[in-house]
């Protein structure tokens, strides 16, 4: 294998802005980073999409990472599927394509020559299972047990983590368990230290408005507080349960990580504050995996208005680590 430590960039959902932001990100990357990037995707599809966007970029189709590579050329490890209309692809074909890309990226990421995976946005419905996103999909591929995988949205100022991820609100309460909170916070604590070389200060939110006034039958008293007590015994710096309707006004500055009980409890205020200044990091896998903190943005296809900031941050973040 080449001496480079590669960044595997998964092309993601083709019915999206992904090719546009890959192009914009590539143009802003330093040459030292460009030589590390390998796209997992369809060479022909990306070529057609770039032509449709009227973008020009030098690309090379490769069959393996062992092939000699030209410098400053976008290397594409080809997924050999045929597409007619480059931005209006049927769901069945798109799903097959996305899963093929993710499966190959997972296989490659287990190799010592890979720094990790950056995957562009993917419509979760393409993963063919209800309530599963890329975080859960790759956790299953890595045979992660006990719900210990963690989705962390992060920038230099703050990180947020939801205990439950892609489930309906009506199902949140029954999916909150003390042992799951403990497992995920332990993963967050260990991985944060491994990534940033310091122990994080962690704030844990309650579930209900005003923490349900800490009623004896509340989730706060029955599930969240017992988990916090267990975590403190493990010498993990945690405080809570914090009141979620005020913590993002100013108190969040006292913490490295704010952990909420459901997806939008922490992601909605975080995105309101930081916009595209964030990346999505999956903690607890057998390799490093990050993705932009946004969706497929189908409303922006072919408009050339897509913001590449988050993808650029993903690439720069993962390029700094040594396996």
Partners of 67 in beta bridges: none
* pLDDT tens column, 209-239: 998 888 999 999 999 999 999 999 999 999 9
Confidence at residue 65, expressed as pLDDT on a 0 to 100 scale: 84
Per-residue confidence (pLDDT) for residue 112, from 0 to 100:
76
- What are the C-alpha distances in Å from 223 to residues 177, 204, 302? 6, 12, 47
pLDDT at 145: 77
pLDDT in tens, 76-104: 999 988 888 888 899 999 999 999 999 99
For the chain, what is the mean pLDDT? Answer: 91
Q: What does DSSP assign to residue 129? A: S
Inter-residue contact 285 to 142 (CB < 8 Å): yes
Mention every residue, 6+ apart, whose C-beta is less than 8 A from residue 81: 42, 45, 93, 96, 97, 100
For residue 43, count CB atoms less than 10 angstroms from its CB and return exposed for 0-12, middle for 13-18, buried for 19 or more. buried
How do residues 159-214 score in pLDDT, each as one tens digit? 999 999 888 999 999 999 999 999 999 999 999 999 999 999 999 999 999 988 88
Which 3 state secondary structure label does DSSP give 7? strand
Strands 37-41 and 6-10, sheet pairing:
parallel
3-state secondary structure of 152: strand
Q: Give how far Cα 9 sits from Cα of 101, 121, 184, Å.
A: 10, 11, 26
| pLDDT of 131 higher than 70 | no
161/31: higher pLDDT: 161
Q: Is the pLDDT of residue 320 over 90?
A: no
What pLDDT does 98 receive?
95
Q: What is the pLDDT of residue 245?
A: 92
Rounding to the nearest 10 degrees, give the CA dihedral for residues 210, 212, 215, 220: -90
322 has a pLDDT exceeding 70: no
In the three-class reduction of DSSP (H, G, I as helix; E, B as strand; rest coil), residue 29 is classed as: coil
Query: Rounded CA gap, 152 and 314, in Å?
Result: 13
Residue 152 has pLDDT above 50, yes or no: yes
Give me the pLDDT at residue 323, please.
55
105-121 pLDDT, tens digit each: 999 999 878 999 999 99
**Could you give all domains of the chain from N- to C-terminal order, each with its CATH number?**
1-144+287-323 (3.40.718.10), 147-284 (3.40.718.10)
Least confident of 90-94, 142-146, 212-216, 246-250: 142-146
Give the residue-averaged pLDDT of 68-81: 85
Task: State the average pLDDT over residues 240-252.
Answer: 95
pTM: 0.87
Full 3-state SS string of 77-117: EECCCCCCCCCCCCHHHHHHHHHHHHHHHHHHHCCCCEEEE
Prior bond of 15 cis (ω within 30°): no
pLDDT value at 2 more than 60: no
Per-residue pLDDT tens digits for 17-28: 999 999 999 999
């Amino acid at each position: 294998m080449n001496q480079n430590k590669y960044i595997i960039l998964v092309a993601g959902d083709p019915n999206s802005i992904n090719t546009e932001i890959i192009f914009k990100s590539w143009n802003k990357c330093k040459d030292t980073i460009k030589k590390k990037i390998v796209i997992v995707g369809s060479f022909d599809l990306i070529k057609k999409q770039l032509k449709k966007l009227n973008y020009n970029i030098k690309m090379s189709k490769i069959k393996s990472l062992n092939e000699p590579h030209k410098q400053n050329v976008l290397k594409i490890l080809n997924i050999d599927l045929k597409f007619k209309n480059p931005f209006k692809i049927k769901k069945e074909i798109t799903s097959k394509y996305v899963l093929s890309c993710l499966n190959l990226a997972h296989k490659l990421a287990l190799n010592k020559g890979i720094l990790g995976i950056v995957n562009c946005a993917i419509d979760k419905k393409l993963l063919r299972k209800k309530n599963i996103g890329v975080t859960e999909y790759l956790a299953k591929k890595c045979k992660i047990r006990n719900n210990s995988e963690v989705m962390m949205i992060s920038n230099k100022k703050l990180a947020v983590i939801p205990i439950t991820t892609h489930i309906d609100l009506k199902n949140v309460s029954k999916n909150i368990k003390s042992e799951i909170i403990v497992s995920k916070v332990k993963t967050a604590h260990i991985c944060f230290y491994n990534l940033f070389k310091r122990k994080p200060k962690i704030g844990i939110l309650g579930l209900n408005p005003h923490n349900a006034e800490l009623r004896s039958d509340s989730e706060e008293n029955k599930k969240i507080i017992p988990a916090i007590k267990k975590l403190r015994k493990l010498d993990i710096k945690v405080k809570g349960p914090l009141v979620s309707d005020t913590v993002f006004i100013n108190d969040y500055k006292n913490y490295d990580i704010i952990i909420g009980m459901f997806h939008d409890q922490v992601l909605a205020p975080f995105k309101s504050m930081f916009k595209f200044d964030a990346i999505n990091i999956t903690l607890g896998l057998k390799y490093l995996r990050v993705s932009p903190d946004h969706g497929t943005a189908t409303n922006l296809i072919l408009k050339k208005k897509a913001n590449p900031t988050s993808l650029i941050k993903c690439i720069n973040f993962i390029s700094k680590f040594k396996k």
